[in-house]
Amino acid sequence: MNQPGKLSRRKFLKIMGTLAGGTLLAGCRPLIPALSAATKLARVGIVRAVSYDPGLVRKQVESLFDSLGGLQDVVRPGDRVVIKVNLTGGVKAGLPPAGATAPESYVTHPAVVRAVAELMRDAGAKEIAIVDSVNEWASFVEWGYVDMAQQVGARLVDLNGSAPYADYASIPVGKDYFFYEKFTLNPILGEADVFVSVPKMKCHWLLGITHSMKNLVGLAPYKFYEQKPGDGNRTAFHGDDTQVKKRLTRVVMDLNRARPIHLSVIDGIQTVQGGEGPWNQDLILKSPGILIGGKNPVASDAVAAAAMGFDPGAEYPHPPFQRAENHLNIARQIGLGPNRLADIEIVGARLEDVRMQFLAPGVTSLLHPGRVG
């Protein structure tokens, strides 16, 4: 809530946009670890959820937020909330593993997003947008997002375009950027008071894992980040084969500094191993039955990696970071948050009780395709 005598965030952005020729600034609240007063550790919560039953998911997400100390330090009355989901690949990318839908395997399930949106409303959010760079609008339709958004009164936004704005915004990274001084993005990302990342818990062929920080690659419109027109992907983020080991992991850092994450909720109820989508061979269904969340994305992603049986501090080329440097290590080194479990307070379910070993991408063919973990 705005205090007397202080500029609102929207007025400030308008003034800065005028001074900077339309440039918007992201991140109205500083990206700092959520610390336990008793332990001074970043706090991450784990709750169990055996299915996507809406009532169960709502109850468990609320329990997750309670374990983190509530949302009063995240959401203020009248805030505009943007929720970034992971709808990677789109409906034309290929078929999910037999016996599961895409939301039950490799994309964020709308039941989790619905619970997050409802609780944001309860905490005082005035406007909610659910966003991703979708390959086609049918992804929102077929995967249940249109119906869910109507139920919670949220707007769906395809970040590949500038709508509902007339044009894109230039959002700066800051003075210590690695590769991108600024990004060309939908203006809604710069105007959000609260930014929430809700990814699926899974591996990634190049970066090893893809959770709340890696989820931000999907902020960028494809057309501005192709190495050559027609690539149909953000190939400039990757670079060539000799660059990807160092480049993509640092582009993720640039994105996270341009658009800081205030809250992460990682969907680990049902997922896959073997990669991030059906274009990876031998995807295998996994059912960890958990949700992980926190107010520091580095710590949240580290706990998710540990819940998959990986060392979140492993160095390249140790699994699952066999093809690129560990972006969680880099995030810790530049001060975005901790990825060492000794520096994280885990609340709720015990990590040792929910840990389920995943195989790193490229070795799942050792198992029979279709086996459920």
pLDDT digit string (tens) for 331-352? 999 999 999 999 999 999 999 9
Percentage of the chain modeled with pLDDT above 70: 86
Beta bridge partners of residue 267, listed in sequence order: 200, 291
Q: Check: CB of residue 307 under 8 Å from CB of residue 294.
A: no
Residues in the chain: 373
- Asked if 93 and 277 count as a contact pair (C-beta separation under 8 A), the reply is yes
DSSP state for residue 51 in the 8-state scheme? S
The confidence band for 178, taking pLDDT boundaries of 50, 70 and 90, is: very high
Question: Whole-angstrom Cα distance, residue 347 to residue 155?
Answer: 32
Both tokens of 88, joined, read 């990677």
Q: What confidence tens digit (pLDDT) does each residue in 4-24 have?
A: 333 334 433 333 333 333 334
Extents of the domains making up the chain:
19-366
Any idea which residue has 């965030």 for tokens?
Answer: 9
The pLDDT of residue 40? 62
pLDDT at 228 over 80: yes
Structure token digits, residue 40? 């001074």
Q: What is the mean pLDDT of the chain?
A: 89
The pTM for the full model equals: 0.89
Tokens of 303: 């706990």
92-98 CB contacts, 8 Å cutoff, 24+ apart = 92/135, 92/136, 93/135, 93/277, 93/278, 93/279, 94/277, 94/278, 94/279, 95/278, 96/272, 96/278, 96/283, 97/272, 97/278, 97/283, 97/284, 97/285, 97/370, 98/370
**pLDDT tens-digit map of 240-281:** 988 989 999 999 999 999 999 999 999 999 999 988 988 887
How far apart are the C-alpha atoms of 205 and 324, rounded to whole Å? 9
28 has a pLDDT exceeding 70: no
